[in-house]
A = this chain, B = another copy of it.
């Protein structure tokens, strides 16, 4: 049941450790799903925005700062990209970026919260874009951890973990057992991609995600970029693979296919982003 709140809110802020980031605008929708509180907010600066449990997730006009860095190093680098799995990503942005590749035959989008999908489809129309009507998209409202557990070995070419912070419904998405299952269902030559939090606002969580992926996979490396909406604005995504760090070597035909319509990502941007590791994080990751 949608409840349109009548009050006009001027500012909506996310609070984190003595810092707040706010957008001016007005509240459109506030719903409590079985999993979280969902807000749709109409901001002056970035158009309509999605918040989950009072955390900014994405907006119509800035989603590419988050989704392009998550998707393209994986999809440009993986040996094959026939069969993609996205865990989370209920706003549709990750699916949209994946479906820009003609080679992609199937995208399984496993989102736990139907209401996130419904509200995103209705209000954040540019974020999912044409993905929602693309016949290659298989949307399943399921628990992603169970989905991965029940998938057979060597099934997906690419796995995208597009969850929120590791609390609430996304808690299990950074655990050893879940990520080991991901490795099991990933084809040889495939790539796993995950958002991996802020090295500034959540340095321990960030470092732990990279370390656990390095334990499970042969290769795992973070890239760094900017997502203004997220705590500190400095964000990271981490890619993992077996045998070769294929995520570092984008295939030219795919680069050509997608570059023209990218706002942030380019082959050059990606090469840079694998190196802009803050010195204090690099020291932590190379310690022992």
Contacts and interface: CB of A to CB of B under 8 A. Distances in A.
Contacts of A233: 226, 228, 232-234
A101 interface: no
Contacts of A262: 279
Contacts of A150: none
Q: Which of A65, A272, A277 has the most CB of B within 10 A?
A: A272
Contact of A263 (B18, B45, B65, B279): B279
Interface residues of A, number: 42
Secondary structure at chain A's binding surface: helix, strand, loop or mixed?
mixed
Contacts of A224: 226, 272, 276
Nearest to A43: B18
Contact of A269 (B22, B264, B278): B278
Contacts of A263: 278-280
A270 B24 CA distance: 35
A276 B228 CA distance: 16
A9 to B, nearest CB: 13
Interface string A228-248: 100011100000000000000
Given A19-B24, A226-B226, A234-B233, A272 B276 contact: yes
A278 B264 CA distance: 4
A76 to B, nearest CB: 14
A209 to B, nearest CB: 18
Contact of A234 (B228, B272, B275, B282): B228
Given A268-B277, A274-B272, A277-B268, A45 B18 contact: yes
The 9 closest A-B pairs by CB, nearest first: A233-B233, A272-B275, A18-B44, A226-B234, A272-B276, A18-B45, A18-B24, A272-B272, A20-B22
